[in-house]
Amino acid sequence: MAAQLFFNGLVTGLLLALPALALTLVFGVLKFANFAVGAMLTLGSFAAWVANVQLGMPMTAAAAIAAVTVAGAGLLADQFAFERLRRRGSITLLVASMGVSLMIENVCRFFFGNASRGFDVALSRPIRWEGIRINQEQITIAITVVVCLVAVDVLLRFTPLGRAMRAVADNASLAAVRGVERRTIARLTWVLVGALLGLAGVLAGLDRSIDPLIGWNYQIAIFAAAILGGLGSPIGAVLGALTIGVAEEMSALVIPTNYRQVVSFAVILALLLFRANGLLGAKAARK
């Protein structure tokens, strides 16, 4: 029982890793907490659903479409909202991101209604290994996320773009002096973040049913993961996501499953009280 919950928790954690990474990247490079992270995930789910179910594409093509759609939405939001408000400070930006979140969520609701939907994928029997039941979807989620994380890590560490992103995150004016265009880096960050959230939306849609609140249900857990890892730290976000995933699933042993979401909230509160910089972060949360 505990082993099964631990395993499920790891998979949930991997699923959370992509949006948590997206949140932390936006925070690092663009310096605000993007509250539209859940809604963008929802958009990814619906884009993939349209491609997969209505247009009859295979899941890989649907995932690509989801990634492109959300990246596009991120670019639009950046161009028309976030960039214009950049100089007004992080509070204005986070309130604006809440507005963007409402817009995206309700565009999905307008076209697809509140009904629950699912991808058109063949059902397969779960595999049993050492008494643990492993679903096909869980394997897909784990492999996709691990591949994505390795790709993002390589991108951030070894490519000119990654170096530029880290430079802007560290000190935007200094990066500008060295010829790194903040604006271009911001756009490329949104493309990367959008792709991550689009894929996360596809994986979430494999894991549970798709409705306009699918992303919102992950929102607190995503923030908990990113804060746990220290906002702005990519590796921290991944470790935070795994911890939150395991903590949420294992909590079923001690508290009613209805209160699973409270675990993330409790983790945030405890962290902010006792270790405000997160596990790996350097950025001070206290004033």
Partner 1 sequence: MIAYLVTIAILVSIAALVGLALNLQWGQAGLVNFGVVGFVAIGAYATALLAPQIGWFPAMLVAGALSAILSAGLALLSIRLEENYLAIVTIGFGEVVRLVILNEGWLTRGALGIADIPRPFASLGQAIGGDTVFIVFALALVAVVFALLECMARSPFGRVLRAIRDDATVTAALGKNVFALRVRAFAVGGAVMGIAGALHAFYLTYIDPSQFTPIVTAYAFMAVIAGGRGSNFGLLIGACSIMALLEGTRFLKDFVTVIDGVQLSALRLGLIGAGIVLLLILRPQGLAPEPKRRAADLLSNDERAA
* Footprint of partner 1 (CB under 8 A): 27, 32-33, 35, 80-81, 84-85, 88, 90-92, 94-96, 98-107, 109-110, 113-114, 212, 216, 219-220, 223, 227, 231, 256, 258-259, 261-262, 264-265, 268-269, 272-273, 276, 284-287
Q: Which is nearer to partner 1, 73 or 141 (by Cβ)?
A: 73
Least Å distance, CB 215 to partner 1, is: 13
Contact by Cβ (8 Å): 91, 35: no
- 280 secondary structure, DSSP code: T
Least Å distance, CB 207 to partner 1, is: 20
Contact by Cβ (8 Å): 31, 208: no
CA triple 46-49-54, angle to 5 deg: 125
Least Å distance, CB 25 to partner 1, is: 15
Q: Spell 157-175 as b/e; 16+ CB within 10 A means b.
A: eeeeebebbbbbbeebeeb
AA letter at 89: G
Q: Which is nearer to partner 1, 109 or 163 (by Cβ)?
A: 109
Least Å distance, CB 216 to partner 1, is: 8
Least Å distance, CB 113 to partner 1, is: 5
Q: Which is nearer to partner 1, 88 or 183 (by Cβ)?
A: 88
Structure tokens at 6: 């631990």
Least Å distance, CB 191 to partner 1, is: 21
Q: Which is nearer to partner 1, 12 or 101 (by Cβ)?
A: 101
Query: Which residues have C-beta within 8 Å of that of residue 211, sequence separation ≥ 6?
Result: 114, 115, 116, 117
Count CB neighbours of 183 within 10 A. 11
Q: Which is nearer to partner 1, 178 or 287 (by Cβ)?
A: 287
The per-residue DSSP string of 5-41 comes to HHHHHHHHHHHHHHHHHHHHHHHHHH-S--TTHHHHH
Q: Which is nearer to partner 1, 89 or 126 (by Cβ)?
A: 89
Structure tokens at 98: 């809440």
